[in-house]
A and B are shown apart, each in its own frame.
Chain A
């Protein structure tokens, strides 16, 4: 069996910490939003605030890491082979066809994946982050004479949260579409993408 090492130790740490934080922020965020009650408002607020700082610190590290390692290029949008990938998810996957995209160290994500993750990084995260910080500091801003409308800040933050939740649902499903149901999951845990020799050999061409 051939294996390829695609997720470094830092990437895996970053991914799982981020997952934990984002999940807890979604759970507590929608409780704050009034969608249900679980921890109680006070606890939800506390967890959300602590996780917000943890997530921001993590993001700063991750951005730094991406630039130092040049890994940010993984997310450069491309349409090359995108049509094949779309056709695969819409049709080929049901026929048991091989995934048309070949994972390499240089290109870990298929074009659709890369674009989705780029959207998370450049759109959803900043929406949540910026509106979240304004939400945290609108009192201080008001004291400085910057009177922002809290309802608007909350609205933007909530839109970001819905986008994140929708992404999360799709993401959790899509990781089951590797060459086995758990292949992607295992890769993010161990770092190694493994599979049938033929499959990887073909990819390595």
Chain B
């Protein structure tokens, strides 16, 4: 972070006398750096009369926000962050968080009150939620700057308005949110606000993505060369350049191969601004003897492949496998079990089954053209096929649209309906008599969940192997840490499984090799024999 002492002070309100004194004392010291006196925003929300009152709920506050930001809620209404619904224009699949199924916590519909703690709204607990309501838009989830605003699972997207014990009976108290304080300090979104949900996808820190976890809240240069808190200090929004609340760069329709140049002001660039190429262009390597050769790679290899050498590099483990089929084991007196590994990480939980975790994981690699096909609820699946792909990543060496990408491939075993041959959407979270995490009965939980999803369920439960691929794109290492040539240009190297491309050092024609070495070896044997006879004859 650049040293911005007064930007910080300004956040705490200049009216405060002691801060003013500090400002006067330090003022001379920083006189050479006048920019540090500036506050980024032209509006100090703590000065607005409308915000100098107490609020009893989020929607009450939102109404006040909308008093000035008249179009904000309408903009939010159009985004995936609000609808959790997305029609993939490429293949007409209905995606979005409320529709897709994954192999982590599986699905949303019957668990809304819990899942919607990551919804940019208030009150989505079931299908009756009013998506037209403007006051139900949660401005603070993205615009809090205090770090004190937190939505709790189970509250249907609301923060706690009174002190609460979480989880119940634990003795741990979560304080009620001070909406007035948060409202007076609203600002731009930050790594913390985006991270509050996106770092914790899959139900915990780093669980889902492997390239996004809480270590990115304040990373050093080594972990993320762009977000480096004492260097470039990018926020998520620096790349995911948001306009009218629409955040570009979604994983539903990612860009596999950005063939455009760097974006330029004054020129209309309709392409995704969150790709590497959107800033770096197609010939990003500028210096060093290898620059030309490295630039030759950009038509085949995604930047991420060399520049993100490992998944989960920040000290937070990511889940690599999840076996739901072992869930539900209880102690003799009927209590759920939690098992931890030597590092204190949960590897078995009766509610969820067995996990394996990984840090510094070497990615798997695949051709990827950005076209993703999901296995959705109702799609026929077949246990005999071995592994069901929750999402299939399109791409090949020859389609002209693909690059070789690093992937986190998350493997799981999850419940399915062996009669209807479909995935299922169990009701997991809830304090009722069907929720799996309370009752440990699959049939009831799936029955309730499938009803909420409006899908048929035969009543039979079996488990099926699934996998899901996550293109890796965050935690970009500094260039000194990028992969060396030998990582791929070698036998059994990183790209061993990649087909359709000749990789020097990995590939060779075995016939030519055999004949070649025979010819060389034969020549050598011939001259050695000749020489030997000469020596033995001692004539010449």
Contact = CB atoms under 8 A, between A and B. Distances in A.
Nearest to A98: B540
B523 A42 contact: no
B491 A34 contact: yes
A150 B531 CA distance: 40
A174 B530 CA distance: 10
B164 interface: no
- A contact face: mostly helix, strand, loop, or mixed: helix
Name which of B485, B504, B527, B533 has the most chain A CB atoms within 10 A of its CB: B504
Contacts of A46: 289-290
A170 B527 contact: yes
Interface residues of B, number: 37
Contacts, number: 95
Contact of B519 (A45, A89, A166): A166
A169 B289 CA distance: 32
Contacts of A95: 537, 539
Interface in A161-185: 161-163, 165-166, 169-170, 173-174, 176
Given A34-B505, A170-B527, A40 B484 contact: yes
B485 A42 contact: yes
A166 B520 contact: yes
A189 interface: no
Contacts of B534: 93-94
Given A34-B508, A155-B509, A162-B520, A94 B290 contact: no
A40 B489 CA distance: 10
A96 B540 CA distance: 5
A144 interface: no
A158 interface: yes
Contacts of A42: 290, 484-486
Interface in B514-531: 515-517, 519-520, 523-524, 526-527, 530-531
Nearest to A32: B504
A93 B505 contact: no
B283 to A, nearest CB: 11
B490 A162 contact: no
A8 interface: no
A96 B293 CA distance: 55
B294 to A, nearest CB: 10
A151 B527 CA distance: 33
Interface string B229-250: 0000000000000000000000
Nearest to B501: A150
Contacts of A40: 484-486
Contacts of A203: none
Interface residues of A, number: 34
A176 B531 CA distance: 9
A118 B392 CA distance: 57
Contact of B540 (A33, A41, A93): A93
B512 interface: yes
A159 interface: yes
B506 interface: yes
A154 interface: yes
B507 interface: yes
Given A33-B504, A41-B489, A169 B524 contact: yes
Nearest to A164: B520
B296 interface: yes
Nearest to B540: A96
Nearest to A29: B504
Contacts of B523: 166, 169-170
A34 B502 CA distance: 13
A37 interface: yes
B359 interface: no
B296 A139 contact: yes
B508 A33 contact: yes
Contacts of A49: 293
Contact of A45 (B293, B490, B507, B513): B293
Given A37-B486, A169-B523, 19 more contacts: A32-B489, A33-B505, A34-B504, A34-B507, A37-B490, A40-B486, A41-B485, A94-B533, A139-B299, A150-B502, A151-B507, A158-B509, A162-B517, A163-B519, A165-B516, A166-B519, A166-B523, A169-B520, A173-B527
Interface of A: 32-34, 37, 40-42, 45-46, 49, 89, 93-96, 139, 142, 149-151, 154-155, 158-159, 161-163, 165-166, 169-170, 173-174, 176
